[in-house]
Structure 1
């Protein structure tokens, strides 16, 4: 599987901390590690400029007191504000060890950095009126905001917003990532994300942040068939399938065939076009992977083409229009299929497979379990899940990907990676990395054709 970091829900994080305590680590030591680790990041950012620390009544506030003490010892100007006194033993001890003045209100305080330590992962309802007013006042009077663990008004497990959320310059995750660090809409407010080590034991299984999965150059004795042959099935709109095929030609496979319903007017010289009737074209035993959906259409003819592709029993990427036609009975018993829905397509799939409403993460996990499909739910937050329980959130790429045709490019890359022999989860993660790398390298205001042109350099950068 791709190299990854664990992402822990609130209950899992508490259990991991409790395990440390049960193994002999004092809770005050955990708070010291968290507060000092976060303080080191704030100190670098502040560079001697004034820092205001806004502390809540729980252990997140306790982390703030530790942070303030460490910064003050380094010579940084620090002001601590707490609307309420500490309520936990660990937070009270941290406040006592801080030993400096604590202001009950913001008054005319202003500065360069506001460090927000109100509730972290412990918040499950909107801030009360007084606390919200204090936070708003402080945010308005500081140039940058840094959240300790999570910004206020964020649900840690779902990424939902409980109330107004200030956009952070930096969010410092304590111990492990939480789902909200990477899931929309919360993720768009996180700013630079850094993780602070507190000594958690290695965590296996569960939700992951997929970081990297290096690509390989072809073997010295490779030829076009050993590298894999991809079949891209066309439909009513030939341009989308052609775009996907162009992407597949740069995704690592050795041979790409376009199986069109109607031949595009202009086709790259290196792309093979097979105009035989689809059942005969699919009889080629050399196909290592197929892609169906881009430009397929949604009528009876498209449904017939989709059925023929699935009957060919090859590893297959199902994308775009094909997702609107897909029914549960069509994929029963198949573990070699990858679906690539955007949010609207994900909603349709969940309705057809009986998946109840919930967060994106919960729906993707449930869909993969119920259907047996590998699901790459793309968007500003991309979730990858498989029927064996593997689930990961992929780091965000660039919002410039929000343009027509980029999904076709991703689907072509994924089919190409499948054709090389990569397992569905690995193929999806690798394709997403190439796609993101090409998008970042393309700069601004490009279209899908420009994204395809950037693929060879993106692939080379990931070797």
Structure 2
């Protein structure tokens, strides 16, 4: 869907130029964006005084359009413009604004500040006087709205370019989502996020935002094997694999088998426990996907188990210790693999596969291409990368996920989704969404066991 795509600055400029080439104009796009944003500002302002801070570029031009829209509705609105408009479209928008424009915002105060100082093209820090003006105006207004991006944010990387910039209550993305809307550290300064459409079309190379999956119920003639059998391989710390199994049982697979040398007296009755030879268990023709890594350990026995899983040529989810033990030569290029590293594991994998990149998304993409695996680089701003360069970004999940065992739950969901027969990239995106939704449903201060039990409720939310 166009609404879910995430664009770089270069992609956004190309998309806008495409609209212009097909008969639109910069002025028309600015009017469309400004009027769409003004609807949100009008609702939030609720007849309070509005100050619009305008910069010299087209983001400032959007601000003049917003201000005029509000003025015509009867709002008390003042434009603060420390610099005169420089682009033709911004000059034209300024000429159409019929209210007061001041160059110094020292006395401006009110209910809402609308930040149109600089938009998504900013790559260097704000000048000290502009940063100071933004901070001061922020303190004198009750609520803050950013247009496209808060000033002082780098769009593609999500970096905060100045210190002590204000936090916003609402950020209105113009035309399409930008990377900074969903990446740290910028994301947590933007408040609520809303998209203002301006007719941007589909961009083939764009990243996508992970949304609620469309998961259907089992077919009328389904049985446990048609729904998929997945095997979870236990290791030294058997509790982690048991957590993964509990999640897998609730994430769509019809049959979950825990292959373990331990007895697991606390295992749920519906979980099949297999204690025999691992190679024999993996040879079962109905096993569609395998998870190895949670609690595996890093000794010779663990290496042997990982080697058996990879030699079986089964679709596999590789997590935790398996990622540290993985030898690139073990991967079968004609097999489907899904890796779920946290930042430390991602760093180790990148070294192992000779991948050089600066940020999580770049590392995930580089690793996926080098290894042939789908990579879920998990963390506060999780990304999913495919070997063909496809990238998906996750929406914020509850920060209560920062507790032991929740990664095992994610891995269990992922192997269950893979066992249903969907491609690894789609399984990864579904798993990330279900994991976050389960956390939301679990409420505050949950533990991993609580999270596992909420996976079924998350599935229900996706039906």
Name the TM tier (shorter chain).
over 0.9
User: SS at 1:121's partner residue?
Assistant: coil
Deviation at 1:240, TM superposition (A): 0.3
The aligned runs of 1:220-369 (5 Å cut-off) are: 220-369=220-369
CA offsets 1:214-262 (integer angstroms, 9 cap, x no match)? 1111111111111111110001100000000111111111111111133
The answer (yes or no) to whether the contact 1:158–1:361 under 8 Å persists in 2 is no
Alpha-carbon distance change, 452 to 420 in structure 1, aligned in 2, over 3 angstroms: same
User: SS at 2:4's partner residue?
Assistant: strand
User: SS at 1:122's partner residue?
Assistant: coil
Equivalent position of 1:142 in the other structure: 141
CA offsets 1:158-194 (integer angstroms, 9 cap, x no match)? 1122123422111111111111111111111121111
The answer (yes or no) to whether the contact 1:3–1:210 under 8 Å persists in 2 is no
Equivalent position of 2:106 in the other structure: 107
Q: Does the alignment pair 1:93 with 2:92?
A: yes
Deviation at 1:337, TM superposition (A): 0.2
Matched residues in 1 for 2:39 and 2:456: separation?
40
Deviation at 1:332, TM superposition (A): 4.7
The answer (yes or no) to whether the contact 1:335–1:373 under 8 Å persists in 2 is no
* Structure 1 residue ranges (4+ consecutive) displaced by more than 6 angstroms after TM superposition: none
Equivalent position of 2:199 in the other structure: 199
Matched residues in 1 for 2:3 and 2:22: separation?
25
Q: Does the alignment pair 1:457 with 2:461?
A: no
Matched residues in 1 for 2:390 and 2:202: separation?
17
User: SS at 1:461's partner residue?
Assistant: helix
C-alpha RMSD of matched pairs (Å) = 1.5
Matched residues in 2 for 1:135 and 1:33: separation?
26
User: SS at 1:270's partner residue?
Assistant: coil
Alpha-carbon distance change, 175 to 129 in structure 1, aligned in 2, over 3 angstroms: same
Equivalent position of 1:82 in the other structure: 81
Give the unaligned 5+ runs of structure 2: none
Alpha-carbon distance change, 420 to 332 in structure 1, aligned in 2, over 3 angstroms: closer
Equivalent position of 1:399 in the other structure: 399
Matched residues in 2 for 1:457 and 1:28: separation?
47
Matched residues in 2 for 1:210 and 1:281: separation?
34
Matched residues in 1 for 2:107 and 2:318: separation?
58
The aligned runs of 1:167-206 (5 Å cut-off) are: 167-206=167-206
TM-score if structure 2 supplies the norm length? 0.97
The answer (yes or no) to whether the contact 2:210–2:433 under 8 Å persists in 1 is no
Q: Which moved more, 1:386-395 or 1:46-55?
A: 386-395
Equivalent position of 1:213 in the other structure: 213
Matched residues in 2 for 1:200 and 1:283: separation?
50
The answer (yes or no) to whether the contact 1:259–1:274 under 8 Å persists in 2 is yes
The answer (yes or no) to whether the contact 2:310–2:332 under 8 Å persists in 1 is no
User: SS at 2:114's partner residue?
Assistant: strand
The answer (yes or no) to whether the contact 2:361–2:383 under 8 Å persists in 1 is yes
Deviation at 1:335, TM superposition (A): 4.3
Give the unaligned 5+ runs of structure 1: none
The answer (yes or no) to whether the contact 1:4–1:210 under 8 Å persists in 2 is no
The answer (yes or no) to whether the contact 1:3–1:211 under 8 Å persists in 2 is no
Equivalent position of 2:433 in the other structure: 433
Equivalent position of 1:128 in the other structure: 127
Deviation at 1:442, TM superposition (A): 1.2
Matched residues in 1 for 2:95 and 2:281: separation?
76
The answer (yes or no) to whether the contact 1:57–1:88 under 8 Å persists in 2 is yes
Deviation at 1:4, TM superposition (A): 6.3
CA offsets 1:326-345 (integer angstroms, 9 cap, x no match)? 12212251440000111111
Deviation at 1:116, TM superposition (A): 0.4
CA offsets 1:29-85 (integer angstroms, 9 cap, x no match)? 111111111111110111111111111111101110110010111111111111111
User: SS at 2:388's partner residue?
Assistant: coil
Matched residues in 1 for 2:296 and 2:2: separation?
35
Alignment length (residue pairs): 462
Matched residues in 2 for 1:312 and 1:251: separation?
24
The answer (yes or no) to whether the contact 2:311–2:330 under 8 Å persists in 1 is no
The answer (yes or no) to whether the contact 1:3–1:212 under 8 Å persists in 2 is no
Matched residues in 2 for 1:120 and 1:4: separation?
20
Deviation at 1:3, TM superposition (A): 8.8
Q: Does the alignment pair 1:52 with 2:32?
A: no
Equivalent position of 1:156 in the other structure: 155
Matched residues in 2 for 1:21 and 1:194: separation?
24
